[in-house]
Structure 1
Amino acid sequence: MQFKPKSVGFTIILGVLAAMLPLSIDMGLPAFPAIGTSLNASPATVGLTLSLFMVGYAISQLAFGPLSDRYGRKPILIIGCGLFTFASAACAIAPSINALVAWRFFQGAGAGAGMTLMLAMVRDLFEGATARAQLSYISLVINTAPIIAPTIGVGILAISSWRGIYGLLAVGGLILILTIALGLDESIKSRDLNAIKPHRLIGNYLRVLNNRVFIGYALVDALSFGCLFAYVAASSLVMINVLGISTTTYGLIFASTGIGIVAGSFISGLLNNRGVPSPRLLGFGLAISATSAITLVLVSMTGAAQLLTLLPLLIINTFCYGLIAPNAIHHALESVEDIAGSAAASIGFLEMLAGSLASFLVSVFFDGHTVNVMSEVMALFAIASLAIYSKMQFHK
């Protein structure tokens, strides 16, 4: 069965490809204590399974993008999913924590193909408001994953061990390979035969990085992702350790903020299809995101931080990310016409860089008894994103 580019099935497949990141992370989070017990590893060492996954995910995108410009999206996508599937199976049978950490790196590397080539395929096949709407609906699928993934992980742990989680990811990867092989056509119009030659590879990335429009919109997206990831990284520390809520309630809160992103993505797609100008959506989303993050700081500093004061602001902030990301990403890709793979890889890499920085700042400065650091890091990234966009508009 072939999935046509404008079909719902096509959108879902691209969304699932990009969702390999949140699925691989969030399904495994509930299993961290069990992994530590099973493999006789400290919490810090188990945490390396997440860190190395993120490193592999970030670096591999820089390779998959140019490779897809040279050989086409479909074969490189199959290779990436194949690496993800094999590494997931290896994780499921890992005999030691060191082996698990190593295979998580390769699992992350394989997952990197999903996001990069999804963006490149959208750039190949869609233009203008249609492309922005497509990215919005794909984002809707992506951001459904963090809502359901922890529940899936907990469900598997109830009937199996932590190894079952990685086994399920391997099965999912295999299904993806078959779906891509049988259901997707090649999207690239013309291959760049020199894309992976050193001089062209370096030249293409320099072209991307020297394109002010691309860098501006890519940074708007990356910094907004950093704002979101500051919340993701700090949420369990703040909600469970500081506010003292139960893990069940935390799961519901995390799901509600995930629904905020989904709602923002849906509204973005709907309004793009109805002809609402993208700059209006971007400007609104960035302004409200910064405002909600600054309000979080004020709530935190005045000692009024509790679940009822924080949750509405967090939902508003995540809703704004659903508005911002599809529009910023599309404008970045639109500014670079013939090297979509390298451009998409750069977007993904910058997102991971911003997310890692936000996570680092939260972990280093978290004081253990207030929500200040989460709010402050979110505000830092949100304000920076708005400032860059405002500067771009001023210099038009």
Structure 2
Amino acid sequence: MLALTSIWTTILLAAAVALAPMAIDMYLPALPQIGADFSAGTDQVQLTLSIYLIGFALAQLVCGPLADRFGRKPVMIGGMLLFALASVGCALASNIETLQLFRFLQALGGSAGPVLARAIVRDVYTPRDATKILALLAGMMALAPAIAPTLGGFIVAFMDWHWIFIVMAAYALIMVAVIAFGIPEPLRPEHRQPFRLCSLLRNYRRISTDRTFIGYTLTSAAIYGGLFAFLSGSAFVLIDVLGVAPEHFGLYTALTAGGYVLGNMASIRLASRFQPDQILFYGLIITVTSGATMALLAYQQVYSPWAVILPQAVFMAGTGMVLPQTMAGALANHPTMAGSASALLGFTQMTSAAGAGALVGLLHDDTPMVMATLIAGFAALGLLGYLLMVQRYPAQDFKTQNASS
């Protein structure tokens, strides 16, 4: 077993969390092909992503409290087994409705990784230290959206989209073995919470009325909306509208993932010089500026892959600075309910993401305009959440440098 504070444990957690973005990013290049195979419209194909996000959001509300009661490892292992089985179901789907059903089940299992990885970081580290670990974890996790679309594009080009889900299933089974034998249980017995409906509702009520939690969570959710507006619309915009070949799609999106990594690295480097909320503000300014640039280019009818990818790469750099701060800030006040707090944070993020995905599918007009406008709008909402809530109710533990930092 590895030590919980080991860099190898952080790498394993990143690999576990990567299962969720992989389930989104790897099949993006296949969306047009799936629509053609099932004779389904853009809105129906897009629904396979929105349904995944809805299931992901709902499952977290139960996954977090279960982990607070029974421990992190059993719930994470069970979730990944469900993910593997549902992935096989997706591969065998014979129509769009069956694919949507198994995508929902896939999301129920896939939610365990991100929720419990955040909770484990909060179990082990102080809130201020957690911002650095979450940034490091997110930076490593960004390899998934960099690699997954490229791999998915090659599978679509040279094999068949069904094999994308077989690869997902195999990855999940490998992670089950790694988690089972690689890391110890981080939740101490004295911190376990009873899993009773009254206790569950009481915990969620306590967390959801914490204004600090609300501020960081809403800010994070808005940026997630912008991120998933891109993920939902990028395949249709780049492949169908701008003529990018499916096997090249991943190379373009890898640049946006590179922006995310740079943002995470900047977040880690700036942590010794600036308060977390200052880094959060700088990141939000970057997302607003880049989102507005993409929207302006779209309204000026500058229709080129680079008019989408370059602003999005900068947006992702800002996102890489924003998300570690908002995640750590949202969990700061709830050390004994980290699983439930992480679940409620994730539920709000994924609800925003699902809404963004649904809007992209419904409003798509065969131009980049809808996607770009939504990205800019969600970025502006994130900055508004910071100004109205985070500035007024900051996480207290962010204000002092911890001795262990």
Residues 52/266 of structure 1: CA separation in 2 closer, same or farther (3 Å cut)? same
1:347-366 superposed matches below 5 A: 347-366=345-364
Deviation (angstroms), 1:130: 2.2
Residues 42/395 of structure 1: CA separation in 2 closer, same or farther (3 Å cut)? closer
Deviation (angstroms), 1:71: 0.7
Matched-pair contact (CA < 8 Å) for 2:157–2:247: no
Deviation (angstroms), 1:85: 1.7
Residues 157/359 of structure 1: CA separation in 2 closer, same or farther (3 Å cut)? closer
Aligned to 1:163: 162
Q: State the secondary structure of the residue aligned to 2:334.
A: coil
- The one-character-per-residue Cα deviations of 1:120-164 (angstroms, maximum 9, x if unpaired) are 111101114321111011111222111111222233345643332
TM-score (structure 1 length as normaliser):
0.90
Deviation (angstroms), 1:202: 0.6
Matched-pair contact (CA < 8 Å) for 1:27–1:149: yes
Residues 265/296 of structure 1: CA separation in 2 closer, same or farther (3 Å cut)? same
CA distance in 1, matches of 2:283, 2:64: 29
Matched-pair contact (CA < 8 Å) for 2:150–2:247: no
Aligned to 1:372: 369
Aligned to 1:324: 322
Matched-pair contact (CA < 8 Å) for 2:26–2:164: yes
Structure 2 residues without counterparts, runs of 5 or longer? 394-405
Matched-pair contact (CA < 8 Å) for 1:20–1:111: yes
Deviation (angstroms), 1:74: 1.0
Aligned to 1:82: 81
Matched-pair contact (CA < 8 Å) for 1:81–1:176: yes
Aligned to 2:382: 385
Aligned to 2:24: 25
Within the alignment, does 1:334 sit opposite 2:321 as a pair?
Answer: no
1:1-396 superposed matches below 5 A: 2-32=1-31, 35=34, 40-43=38-41, 45-94=44-93, 97-157=96-156, 160-190=159-189, 195-272=194-271, 274-304=272-302, 306-369=304-367, 371-392=368-389, 394-395=391-392
Residues 233/389 of structure 1: CA separation in 2 closer, same or farther (3 Å cut)? same
CA distance in 2, matches of 1:374, 1:30: 17
Matched-pair contact (CA < 8 Å) for 1:214–1:336: no
Q: State the secondary structure of the residue aligned to 1:339.
A: helix
* Count of residues in Structure 1 that have an aligned counterpart in Structure 2: 392
CA distance in 2, matches of 1:166, 1:393: 40
Matched-pair contact (CA < 8 Å) for 1:72–1:191: no
Q: State the secondary structure of the residue aligned to 1:338.
A: helix
TM-score (structure 2 length as normaliser):
0.89
- The one-character-per-residue Cα deviations of 1:232-290 (angstroms, maximum 9, x if unpaired) are 22223333444444445543321111110111112212332x35321221111111211
Residues 253/91 of structure 1: CA separation in 2 closer, same or farther (3 Å cut)? closer
Deviation (angstroms), 1:348: 0.9
Identity %: 35
CA distance in 1, matches of 2:35, 2:391: 52
Deviation (angstroms), 1:339: 0.7
Structure 1 residues without counterparts, runs of 5 or longer? none
Matched-pair contact (CA < 8 Å) for 1:124–1:187: yes
